[in-house]
Structure 1
Amino acid sequence: MSQNSPRLNLPFLQPSQAQKHVTHNEALRELDLVVQLSLVTMNAATPPAVPSQGDIHALGAAPTAEWAGYGGELAAWLDNAWHFVTPAQGWRAWDQAAGQLKVWDGSAWIDPPLSTQNLPGVGIATTSDSTNRLSVRGPATLLSHDGAGHQLKINKAGAGDTASLLFQSNWTGHAEMGLAGNTGFSIKVSADGSTWNDALAFDPATGVASGTAVQSSADDTTTGRLMRADYGYGPGNLLGTVSESGGTPTGAVIERGSNANGDYVRFADGTQICTVTLSAVDCTNATGALFASAVFTWDFPMGFATSATPAVSGAAGAASRFLGLDAPSGTQASGQVLSAVSDPTQLTPTLVAIGRWV
């Protein structure tokens, strides 16, 4: 029969053994050390100057002084002497300094291994529940990279479900962003947590934006709304071909062009201005009477609306001359150049017509 127990190495009482109480007390002392093991220090290297009866220290790899040569063992101060115990793999001990449980893995005291898979819930400084299975209370939550980028993934089961971030104030929702009931990203806001406005939504196929924060039509001038590119004007569409529908511009703001009949400018509000410079002519009058020395018919470079007669004016090329104009007919106008004095100088008359193209 062995004289010691196989696991804790406790001495057995032997048949016909004298002073059996000594062996029994030695076994009790070993049990007193290792049962409900509580350690004053971990990875200790130097014995304390004034140790207390029953204190146990977990020694580091290279302790000194009276502990030298007992690296990795337990040092217990009993009856004014150090007693050493070799821990076995799996022993558990309470770390008094850290206030937590430790386990001896055969070479070091480590935190007890815990399973982190399929936990029913985790609460950090607060309580988790069946809906909020991960609950965190604190001034901030950090999700950092592992050497490169980092993604926060929110996945939903089906297109009609919701995958979003909800922002609350005193547990009342006021803003939500994500995939709410479809696969298009949207931002919703609410004043009371019950009535929600889709402020901004993006079509997943085209990326085109819509919502109460965006112009709903070309004549929507609601304060604070975002202007749509097809409803607003900028360097890309300020100049071009003007057009309208029901009085609302549908094309550019300004259109400018020219042809053999002169130059023209059209504006999105319906205004049109045509100009021309005629060929140089002279005005002579042998008798001194007023008469037309030349007659020109001007075809406008762009036609005016037939419902409104444009205003036509011009200059004969010099202060000594004046230009007489016939009223325009349809989309054309004719003018007579008249002179009050005999003037053989070749001068170029100019004409301006202002009206509406629509």
Structure 2
Amino acid sequence: MKGRRMWSDKTPSLELPLILPSQAQKHVTHNEALRILDVASQLAVRDGPTPTPPVGPTTGDCYLVGTGATGDWAGQDQSIAQWTGTYWDFIPPKAGWRADVAPTGATWRFDGTQWEPAGTYVDQLGVSTTADATNRLAVLSEASLFTHDGAGHQMKINKATAPDTASFLYQTNWSGRAELGTIGSDDFSVKVSPDGTSWITALSFDATDATVSGQSVQQSPTDTTPGRLMRADFGYGPGNLVGIVSETAGAPTGAVLEYGQNANGRYVRFADGTQMCWHREAAVSPGWATWAFPAMFVDNNYAQTIMPNPGLSPRCCVTGSKGVASVDFAVFIPTNGNQSAATCDMSVIGRWF
């Protein structure tokens, strides 16, 4: 009833015994209340919940009694046990009570049913700022430190499925400017944005073979956009300066320079399409002969030189029909010559594409 005091023999929170009117031996009740306060106030225990009493406890030591208590603790599950020096005294905890484990600094909380580690589940945590339903952990600080307890430290960002996102987002005035991580796939990407709305994938590393793509990389063999990174298959270096030349739609796709030789002579091909062939043919009989090129030309629009080796008796060479794979030529030895055959130096320059 409103305005009427309801008397009880215990306090409502800690259940400390109260001294009642006309009570005899008041000191007993008073001392019992002090005993409970001695344990419950600034509760410090020697260990987390355990079902087994320790051996050789020290007077005043407190323990959290775990489930399935045995020995002197039997039947006192979840209680707080204090060694008085001669026997164990037990105090039942209330929901919300916290206990500090003195040797380790760990904290345990009684949820009304059992003791559980405090801080294992926190719905939101804000450090010098306010957390919310999206940013459940929020930190306002000049820096954040994650260090190691041993050899190293690993930060883990997990996502449920490959199409989800696990990334670091960098912002300016709460607007995104750069992001890196597995964004929408399991490929590792680096993205940038000028306004937080339009995004460009600068680099992307394929999760299967680690090959790289993105707008920061050459887009084609002819891409010379300033600031882009050179692709190994588009650019030139010690590994592909000399090799097999190739082209696609007139654009070089292979090495810069190709050299080769066979029974028909030697040749050099350049990445721009230029080709040179040369050969020395000995003992060419008078009359018409054919030189099969060591490498084919794209057409017969080439310049050629076929002439006798200097220093020998005068003779002349003339050319006949021209083809992409060979050329016909004639050797004429003057009647006053003393050789029946000629040594000819031959060269031709044109295009291989």
Tell me by how many angstroms 1:130 deviates.
Answer: 0.8
Tell me by how many angstroms 1:255 deviates.
Answer: 2.3
Q: Give 2:156's aligned residue.
A: 152
Q: Is the 8 A contact 1:166 1:173 kept in 2?
A: yes
Secondary structure (helix, strand or coil) at the match of 1:200 reads: strand
Tell me by how many angstroms 1:273 deviates.
Answer: 0.7
Q: Give 2:345's aligned residue.
A: 350
Tell me whether 1:259 sits opposite 2:262 in the alignment.
Answer: yes
1:299 alignment partner, one of 272, 292, 305: 292
Q: CA separation in 1, counterparts of 2:152 and 2:102? A: 36
Secondary structure (helix, strand or coil) at the match of 1:326 reads: strand
Residue type of the alignment partner of 1:161: D
Q: Is the 8 A contact 1:89 1:106 kept in 2?
A: no
Q: Give 2:134's aligned residue.
A: 131
**Identical counterparts, % of pairs:** 35
Q: 1:313 to 1:137 in 2, by over 3 A?
A: farther
Q: Give 2:198's aligned residue.
A: 195
Matches within 5 A, 1:1-358: 103=99, 113=109, 115-138=118-141, 139-144=143-148, 150-156=154-160, 158-279=161-282, 296-312=289-305, 314=307, 316-318=309-311, 324-326=317-319, 329-331=322-324, 332-334=327-329, 336=331, 348-358=343-353
Q: CA separation in 1, counterparts of 2:104 and 2:245? A: 83
Q: Is the 8 A contact 1:280 1:348 kept in 2?
A: yes
Residue type of the alignment partner of 1:336: V
Q: CA separation in 2, counterparts of 1:108 and 1:201? A: 46
Deviations 1:205-245 (A, max 9, x none): 44332211122222111122222233233344433333323
Q: Is the 8 A contact 2:284 2:331 kept in 1?
A: no
Q: CA separation in 1, counterparts of 2:329 and 2:100? A: 112
Q: CA separation in 2, counterparts of 1:111 and 1:201? A: 45
* Count of residue pairs brought into register by the alignment: 292
Q: 1:14 to 1:204 in 2, by over 3 A?
A: closer
Q: 1:106 to 1:131 in 2, by over 3 A?
A: closer
Q: CA separation in 2, counterparts of 1:149 and 1:340? A: 94
Q: Is the 8 A contact 1:189 1:198 kept in 2?
A: yes
Tell me by how many angstroms 1:190 deviates.
Answer: 0.9
Q: 1:165 to 1:89 in 2, by over 3 A?
A: farther
Highest CA radius of gyration, 1 or 2?
1
Q: Is the 8 A contact 2:178 2:193 kept in 1?
A: yes
Secondary structure (helix, strand or coil) at the match of 1:278 reads: strand
Q: 1:224 to 1:8 in 2, by over 3 A?
A: closer
Normalising by structure 1, we get a TM-score of: 0.62
Q: 1:212 to 1:8 in 2, by over 3 A?
A: closer
Deviations 1:143-198 (A, max 9, x none): 53555773513223x33322211122332211111222233322111122111101
Structure 1 residue runs of 5 or longer lacking an equivalent are 40-69, 74-84, 93-100, 283-292
Residue type of the alignment partner of 1:268: A
Normalising by structure 2, we get a TM-score of: 0.62
Q: Is the 8 A contact 2:176 2:196 kept in 1?
A: yes
Residue type of the alignment partner of 2:215: T
Q: Is the 8 A contact 1:172 1:192 kept in 2?
A: yes
Q: Is the 8 A contact 1:265 1:272 kept in 2?
A: yes
Q: CA separation in 1, counterparts of 2:335 and 2:241? A: 46
Secondary structure (helix, strand or coil) at the match of 2:282 reads: coil
Tell me by how many angstroms 1:90 deviates.
Answer: 6.8
The list of structure 1 runs, each at least 4 consecutive aligned residues, that deviate by more than 6 angstroms after superposition, is 7-15, 25-34, 36-39, 85-92, 104-110, 337-347
Deviations 1:305-328 (A, max 9, x none): 325132325562339867644365
Tell me by how many angstroms 1:265 deviates.
Answer: 1.4
Deviations 1:43-69 (A, max 9, x none): xxxxxxxxxxxxxxxxxxxxxxxxxxx
Tell me by how many angstroms 1:276 deviates.
Answer: 0.7
Tell me by how many angstroms 1:355 deviates.
Answer: 1.3
Q: 1:296 to 1:111 in 2, by over 3 A?
A: closer
Across the aligned residues of Structure 1 and Structure 2, the Cα RMSD in angstroms comes to: 4.9
Q: 1:33 to 1:340 in 2, by over 3 A?
A: farther
Q: CA separation in 1, counterparts of 2:100 and 2:296? A: 99
Q: 1:208 to 1:349 in 2, by over 3 A?
A: same
